[in-house]
Structure 1
Amino acid sequence: MRWNAQLITHRKEKRIAVYFEKKPELIARIKQLEGSRWSQTLGVWHLPDTFENRIRFKIHTSSPNVPSDEGIAQIDKFKQWMRSRRYSESTITTYSEALKSFLVFYPEKPISEITNEDVIRYNNEYVLEKKFSTSFQNQIVNGIKLFFATVRDTKIEIDKIHRPKREKVLPNVLSKEEVKLILNAHTNIKHKTMLSLIYSCGLRCGELLALRPMHIDSKRNIVLLKNAKGKKDRIAPLSPKILEMLREYYKVCQPTTYLFEGQIKGQPYDARSLQLVLKQALQKTGITKPATLHWLRHSFATHLLESGTDLRYIQELLGHNSSKTTEIYTHVSTKSLQQIRSPFDDL
Structure 2
Amino acid sequence: MKEVKLVPFTYKNEKQIAVKFGYDDSIRIHLKKLLDIKWSNSNKTFYIKYSSENKIKVYKHLRAINCLIDYSELKTVLPNITKTQSFKLPKLNEHQTTDLQRFKKWLQQKRLSENTVNTYVEVTSFFIRYAALKNTLNYSKRLIESFNYDFIVQLNKSISYQNQCINGIKKFLDYKGVEVEALELERPRKEKKLPVVLNIEELKQIFDQTHNIKHKTLLSLIYSAGLRIGEAINLKVKDIDSKRMLIHIRGAKGKKDRYTLLSEMFLDLLRIYYKQYKPKVYLFEGQGGEQYSSSSAQSVLKSAVSKAGLKKQVTLHTLRHSFATHLLENGTDIRYIQELLGHSSPKTTMIYTHVSETSIRKIKNPFDNL
Q: TM-score range by the shorter chain?
A: 0.7 to 0.9
Partner of 2:225: 201
1:122 aligns with 2:159: no
Aligned partners of 2:56 and 2:81: how far apart in 1?
Answer: 19
2:78 aligned to which of 24, 32, 48: 48
Residues 10-21 of structure 1: matches in 2 within 5 Å?
A: 19-20=18-19, 21=46
Contact 1:114–1:155, Cα closer than 8 Å, also in 2:
no
User: Structure 1 residues 299, 204: CA separation in 2 closer, same or farther (over 3 Å shift)?
Assistant: same
Partner of 1:335: 358
Aligned partners of 1:221 and 1:278: how far apart in 2?
Answer: 26
User: Structure 1 residues 7, 71: CA separation in 2 closer, same or farther (over 3 Å shift)?
Assistant: farther
CA RMSD of aligned residues (A): 3.3
2:198 aligned to which of 143, 163, 174: 174
Aligned partners of 1:143 and 1:342: how far apart in 2?
Answer: 47
Aligned partners of 2:96 and 2:331: how far apart in 1?
Answer: 54
Contact 1:306–1:335, Cα closer than 8 Å, also in 2:
yes
Contact 1:18–1:45, Cα closer than 8 Å, also in 2:
no
Structure 1 gaps, min length 5: 9-16, 36-41, 55-59
Aligned partners of 2:89 and 2:334: how far apart in 1?
Answer: 53
Residues 152-191 of structure 1: matches in 2 within 5 Å?
A: 152=177, 154=178, 156-157=180-181, 160-191=184-215
Partner of 1:109: 136
Aligned partners of 2:277 and 2:83: how far apart in 1?
Answer: 36
Partner of 1:13: none
Contact 1:302–1:333, Cα closer than 8 Å, also in 2:
yes
Shift of 1:63: 8.1
Residues 216-295 of structure 1: matches in 2 within 5 Å?
A: 216-264=240-288, 266-295=289-318
Contact 2:89–2:130, Cα closer than 8 Å, also in 1:
no
Give me the TM-score of the superposition, normalised by structure 2: 0.77
Aligned partners of 1:53 and 1:33: how far apart in 2?
Answer: 18
Shift of 1:95: 0.5
Q: Which amino acid aligns with 1:47?
A: V
Report the identity percentage: 41
Q: Which amino acid aligns with 2:281?
A: T
What's the secondary structure of 1:47's corresponding residue? coil
Aligned partners of 1:208 and 1:62: how far apart in 2?
Answer: 40
Partner of 1:301: 324
Shift of 1:114: 2.2
Contact 1:19–1:44, Cα closer than 8 Å, also in 2:
no
Q: Which amino acid aligns with 1:79?
A: K
Partner of 2:234: 210
Partner of 2:349: 326
Give me the TM-score of the superposition, normalised by structure 1: 0.82
Aligned partners of 1:34 and 1:51: how far apart in 2?
Answer: 9
Listed one character per residue, the Cα deviations across residues 163-208 of structure 1 (whole Å, up to 9, x for unaligned) are: 1111111111111211122123223211111111100000011111
Shift of 1:333: 1.2
Contact 2:233–2:292, Cα closer than 8 Å, also in 1:
yes
Residues 29-40 of structure 1: matches in 2 within 5 Å?
A: 29-30=54-55
Q: Which amino acid aligns with 1:217?
A: D
Listed one character per residue, the Cα deviations across residues 242-280 of structure 1 (whole Å, up to 9, x for unaligned) are: 11111111111111121111232x211221111111112
Structure 2 gaps, min length 5: 9-15, 20-45, 61-71
Partner of 2:157: 132
Matched length: 322
Partner of 2:336: 313
